[in-house]
Structure 1
Amino acid sequence: MNTLISSGNQTDLPKWQKPEKAAGWVFLAAAAGAALYFWGAIVPFLVEIVFDTVKLGIGLGALFVLFLIVTSKRIKAGLWYAGQRIFRTAAGIFVETDPIGIMQDYIRNTEKEAQNMESEVGHIEGAHELVKRKMDSNKQQLQEYLRLADSAARKGEKDFAESYASRAAQLEDYNSRLQPMLTTTANVTLVMRQILKAALRQIDNSKFKVNLLKDEYELVKRTSSGMRAAMNILRGDPDKKYFFDMATDRVAQDMAQQLGQIKQAMRYSQEFVKEMDIQNGVMSEKGQRLLEKYQKGDFNTLLNEQQPSPLNPAATAKATNDAYSSLLD
């Protein structure tokens, strides 16, 4: 009785107090710790394998591309033209390579030079106007000094009269020196205005010619593109013709294979039809003979002899068993 009671008390204990459960948890913890330890040791190895595999794939791909470049003339020609295209595009970023663009760029630079020239002409005209005003001011001042000198001379003030007369003489000399500058600025302004007018006329003519050449160039390019398309139709593009010939050969091979399969299927069908015709002919002859027997009355006698008695269950069961046994033989 004590044994039974104590065993009952053990079953009532919590699961974590049972010895086998505690040992299981310890084993699971040890297994988890071992898995974490070995996983930390395996992960770097797996990562290294993955990266080495990727590097190997990249290296093999590079070797394959290099092999194609060395052995294929088509790929080498394509890379050559692609390189030329890339360098031409890169050069076009810094330097204008289009002939129409070069002419338009020249016209834009000429227009900038004409604008600078016009501003310079304005500066020269401003200097001419400044010299002219200075000379006018000197003339007015000279007349004023002469009036003052005349007044001082009449009053007998000789020193003042000489001083004013000397100043008037200086202003006259000053104006005589400014006169060439006034003439020069006037002449330079006139000449530069004539040059600027001719330059603007030349720029307008250049714009007209460039627009005409642009339209002619576009027309010629479109005509050339159309003629090139026509020649490609007549002569054929070598690259596209190569793939066309390959596709034609492939279609011819496929058609030949399918025609062979069709002919083989037709032979099989002919043999099958012939066999069916023979079987139908045999059955037809057999049916004719049975019909003749039926018309003579022999067929009814034959049916009566072969018809089993439906009222005998034992005979029916025996005939059925015999039939199934014959199927198993």
Structure 2
Amino acid sequence: AARRDVAALAGAKPAAVIFTSGGTEAARLAFHAAKVAQGVERLIVSAVEHDAVLVSAEASGLPVEIAPVDGNGELDLDALASLLSTPDRRVMVALMLANNETGVLQPVAEAAALVHEAGGLLLCDAVQAAGKVPLDFAALGADMMMLGGHKLGAPLGIGALVVREGLPFAADAVGGGQEMRRRAGSENVSGIAGFGAAARAARGALGEFAALADLRDELEAQIAAAAPDAKFFGRRAPRLPNTSYLAAPGLDAETLLMALDLDGVAVSAGAACSSGKVGRPRVLDAMGVDPALARGAVRVSLGWSSATDDVDRFVESWLRIHERSRSRVDTEVYASRAPSSRLAAVES
């Protein structure tokens, strides 16, 4: 039953689902199968992929090339076509459906068409998208697709790799014949059951999740009206309905997170699995965002329980911190100019 529920969420057949320990293992398993069973000799990874995909690709032993994105965070399809124009070695492209920081939805179906025309394969990371937007494995054109249960409310430590029917496959570990001999080792039965229940619930609530776009848009409209210097990354691209990634000049994400936390507001700086790590956001770098601006970027994620009051609290807190930051900058600028001004007054 759980396999059917997860397959239904993915828009795939139950036999296509291989249960794993999470999205990271699914990525590693996909790259292994590509190399060993599918004749892949090189990898192309988009510049905004999750670290789990990028690091797994680099660890595969295959050469890895990076496909750039535009200023909205969307894959540059012309650049991908150029990378695919080298026909001497079979390629697999890794492209996420939804970015875990900006929420930007990638043109997976269009990319898959280019990849297949070049004789290659496409791996789609749908971990962030599952349960937030409808999935249709066949329509996306992906050959393999990754899922992560915890994003849907399932227990930690459960995920899946969805594999196209008829695609040659090889397990990356030998042992028992679990998962139709595609993933050896005892299955996480309780995790699988939880994944199935979460997938069933998420599929039934897709309409409610879509309605979060109105809350997200209201949040952005309020901040844009009161703080014209605020920037919303990926706002001009199709996005997940619940995600807003924003910054303003002069803000520092680490300081902002602490101040918001004191106000009872929980947001993140970049990827959730990188929480606690301070550094330049790789995704924003790939989008060409000024590092000084990127330093203050925070991600707001709305959930099934989010309400207007939550949005209002965030907006009020963020604007207050933003105004305080602007006042500090203005004071520092005034102080830096004061000595020369006094000197000019004396000389005159």
Q: TM-score range by the shorter chain?
A: under 0.3
What is the TM-score with the length of structure 2 in the denominator? 0.16
Higher RCO by CA contacts (8 Å cutoff, separation 6 or greater)? 2
* Structure in which a larger fraction of residues adopt helix: 1
* Structure in which a larger fraction of residues adopt strand: 2
Kindly name which structure, 1 or 2, has the bigger radius of gyration based on alpha carbons: 1
